[in-house]
Chains A and B, each alone.
Chain A
Amino acid sequence: MIQKPTFTSTWKALLYLLPALVILLTFNIYPIIKSFIMSFYTDYDFFKDIVYEYGLDNFTYIFQDAEFWKSVVNTLVFVIGVVPLSIVISLGIAILLNTKIRFKGIFRSIYFLPFVTSVIAISMVWRWLYHTDYGLINYSLGLFGIEKIAWLTDPQWAMPAIIIMCIWKGLGYNIIIFLAGLQNIDQQLYLAAQIDGAKPWKRFMNITLPMLSPTMFFISIVSVINSFKVFDEVFALFDGKPGPAYSAQTIVYYIFEKFYNEWEFGIASAAAIILFVIIFLITLIQLRLGRSRIIY
């Protein structure tokens, strides 16, 4: 009765799956295919939903669009700025939290807090913190004799502003995952190493890091993918603009611009496909690297 699929059991299962499948097919599976097709629309009337022409023009356009390349560079800068720093800081904090200290739970909750808050709302707060004249950050820097920085209006400082905020926001998530990874390490390994005379730093290098490599790997993939998709933060921090002089325009922002403001559905779709391909390739590369790096 329960072991083999039959037509009856398939019908029954279909009833259970129907609600989810209807939604997923319409809003998850179909749009993936549709997106590919739309990226080849070169002449399209959205209101009548008629395609007059297919072709590669969208891709040629994008590849010749300086603005697109700028957004790719910005996104890369963002990824490189956020991911490694965020991993190092969160690993450090996770290790400190994993020692025998009190108030562990409270610390954990505090670091995780930004995760549950609205990106938009908290970006408003950061916009205020970054205020050139009255912002808390410039005030604090001033105490150390550092000149005022035009965080949100100087194209040079737009990216760092976004990066700092995103590291702040993402720390908690990484810490929680690292903590889970650390707690999975067999404590006896440390005891054995201690008996073998390994000092704390050696223990960290020879036990913690290798044993943590799957976690590290997981976090780095998730962080890279999410960083490639940054959008809300940019939108909210710069008040609906991609930073001063497009200095913080990311790939998703580019897609949003083309789609929402310029109604270039074909170009926007093509850019989305390119984003997908980039993320896919980077994941593949990381999987490759990961296989040789993960120690056990």
Chain B
Amino acid sequence: MKIQLKELSMKFDDVLAVNGLNVHINKGELVSLLGPSGCGKSTTLFMLAGLYKPSSGEMYFGDTLVNNVEPENRGIGMVFQNYALYPHMTVLKNIMFPLKMAKVPHKKAEEKAIEMANLVQIGHLLDRKPKQLSGGQQQRVAIARALVKQPQLLLLDEPLSNLDARLRIEMREEIRRIQQEVGITTIFVTHDQEEAMSISDKVLLMKDGQFQQYSKPQEMYDHPVNMFVGKFMGNPPINMIPVTFDHKNLSIQINGTDEKLKVTSKLNYELVSGNQMLLGVRAEDFVLEKLEGISNSFSAKVDLVERTGRDTLVHATVGNHAIRALVNQDFVVKPSNIVKLSIRKNRLQLFDAETELNLVLGKE
């Protein structure tokens, strides 16, 4: 089922939790709703579920306007952050509950519930109570309960945040597997950008109830539309270096230094408001050289070298700006060395200091 949100807003007494959301989700896609805590993700999800009534805007499931449709009639399944399993019912009873409410005959309901339990691989736990299950198992029960009515849309509200790190990775793969097996349109809420990147077809990023960007995860990473998106995606966080733009030479100068770099990417000049900008470079997009005389590079002083097994993270200063660069393991460097940094081709972003918008033209 395709989903369409038009100018969807939600206002609590004095908080505008969601502000004019316009989104189109294709059938069978898994979309992550991403953003920092309190940005309105749950609120959006709850509106889709019909648990909150939007203050304004429209929601279409397929071609039907569902604003006034009761939750149980929306054809949705939902998984909550704390799973919200009924503590006094067994696993089987939990999964059967939605069917019981829909007055499905007991026998048939049980069959379906068991089938669903097997899909999420908890067929052997049917007689347990939720308290006797591990977090990951509870999670599976919650997913089974959400799917048992064969909904058209699956909503997941931070389903992994109560799990430990290892389980989280296992379960997110599991969710992806189940989702693709069932082929259900899914909205997955998370505040963890890595989780969103790894699992989704598309990511919708929000901040303070405001829409930020809606695109494929890799594109969001490669071409953030503004500074917030740039900073939010990626770990270690993107380097932001204040620079002054030279319109004549199409070059930038790092503030407080004489270091200059040529800008080869195409810029959207309509968005430029002045000559103060921030250069955004991801740690892995720096190229470090010890040699002098590399063109289009700047020098920095190494402060600290962190080795984390696979990578080496170099902390350095240029002028008075701290930067971080990921370099190859065999690159030997010591604190207080002076190194040359250049930037991979087309891997730099320039953000307007005032509007914070990304000035580099994207692929489209």
Direct A–B contact in the complex, CB atoms closer than 8 angstroms: yes
The answer to whether B50 and A1 have CB atoms under 8 Å apart is yes
Per-residue contact bits, chain A 1-41, to B (CB 8 Å; 1 contact, 0 not): 11100000000000000000000000000000000000000
**B12 CB-CB contact with A under 8 Å:** yes
B53 on the A face (CB < 8 A): yes
Contact count band on A:
under 10
Q: What's the dominant secondary structure at chain B's contact region? A: loop
B51 at the interface (CB under 8 A from A): yes
User: Which residues of chain A have C-beta atoms less than 8 A from B53's C-beta?
Assistant: 1
Q: B219-241 CB contact bits vs A (8 Å, 1 = yes)? A: 00000000000000000000000
In the assembly, what is the distance between CA of A3 and CA of B50, in Å? 12
Q: Looking across the interface, which residue of chain A has its beta carbon closest to that of B10?
A: A3
Contact with A along B265-292 (1 / 0, CB 8 A): 0000000000000000000000000000
Main secondary structure of the interface of A (DSSP, over half): loop
Question: Residues 43-66 of chain B: 1 if any A CB is under 8 Å from the residue's CB, otherwise 0?
Answer: 000000011110000000000000
**Complex Cα distance A1/B50, Å?**
8
Residues of B within 8 A of A2 (CB): 51-52
- Name the interface residues of B86-114: CB closer than 8 Å to any CB of A: none
**Complex: A146 Cα to B52 Cα, angstroms:** 77
Residues of chain B within 8 A of A3, CB atoms compared: 12, 52
A17 to B53 CA separation, bound complex (whole angstroms): 25
A1 to B49 alpha-carbon distance, docked (Å): 11
Q: Which residues 137-176 of A have a CB within 8 angstroms of B?
A: none
Which chain A residue lies CB-closest to B12?
A3
Q: Which residues of the other chain, B, contact A1 by a CB distance below 8 angstroms? A: 50-53
**Distance between Cα atoms of A167 and B12 in the complex (Å):** 54
Please give me the residue from chain B that is nearest to A1 by CB atom: B53
Complex CA distance for A3 and B53, rounded to whole angstroms: 9
Beta-carbon contacts under 8 Å, A36-70 to B: none
Chain A residues near B12 (CB-CB < 8 A): 3
In angstroms, how far is the closest chain B Cβ from the Cβ of A88? 42
**Shortest Cβ distance from residue A1 to the other chain B in the assembled complex, whole angstroms:** 5
Tell me the bound Cα distance from A3 to B52 in angstroms.
8
B54 CB to closest chain A CB (Å) equals 11
A residues within 8 A CB of B52?
1-3
Determine how close the nearest CB of chain B comes to the CB of A30; give it in whole angstroms. Answer: 35
Residue on A with the closest CB to B53?
A1
How far apart sit A217 and B50, CA to CA, in the bound complex (Å)? 47
Chain A 166-220 residues near chain B, CB threshold 8 A: none
**CA A1 – CA B43 in complex, angstroms?**
12
Q: How far is the CA of A3 from the CA of B51 in the complex (A)?
A: 9
Interface residues of B in 21-69 (CB under 8 A from A): 50-53
Task: Looking at the assembled complex, report how far the CB atom of A65 sits from the nearest CB atom of chain B, in whole angstroms.
Answer: 56
Complex interface: chain A residues within 8 A of B51 (CB): 1-2
A26 to B90, CA, bound (A): 43
Give the docked Cα–Cα distance between A236 and B124 (Å): 63
Once the chains are docked, how many angstroms separate the CA of A2 from the CA of B53? 9
| A2 and B50 alpha carbons, distance in the complex (Å) | 10
A248-B51 Cα distance, complex, nearest whole Å: 62
Q: How far is the CA of A284 from the CA of B52 in the complex (A)?
A: 44
Instruction: Give A2 to B46 CA distance when docked, in angstroms.
Output: 11
Q: For the complex formed, measure the closest distance between the CB of A12 and the CB atoms of chain B, giving whole angstroms.
A: 15
Minimum CB distance partner of A6 in chain B = B53
Q: Give min CB distance, B261 to chain A, whole Å.
A: 52
Contact residues in A for B50 (Cβ distance below 8 Å) = 1
Roughly how many angstroms separate A2 CA and B71 CA in the complex, as a whole number?
Answer: 12
Tell me the minimal C-beta distance from B57 to chain A in angstroms.
16
- How many angstroms from the CA of A98 to the CA of B159 in the assembled complex? 42
Instruction: Output the least CB separation between B288 and chain A (Å).
Output: 51
With the chains together, A1 CA to B69 CA distance in Å? 12
CA distance A2 to B49 in the complex (A): 13
Chain B nearest Cβ from A18, distance in angstroms:
25
6 new A-B contacts, CB < 8 A, other than A1-B52, A1-B53, are A1-B50, A1-B51, A2-B51, A2-B52, A3-B12, A3-B52
What are 8 A-B pairs at a CB distance below 8 A? A1-B50, A1-B51, A1-B52, A1-B53, A2-B51, A2-B52, A3-B12, A3-B52
Query: Which 7 A-B pairs have CB atoms at the shortest separation, nearest pair first?
Result: A1-B53, A1-B51, A1-B52, A2-B51, A3-B52, A3-B12, A1-B50
A interface, CB within 8 angstroms of B: 1-3
Interface residues of B (CB under 8 A from A): 12, 50-53
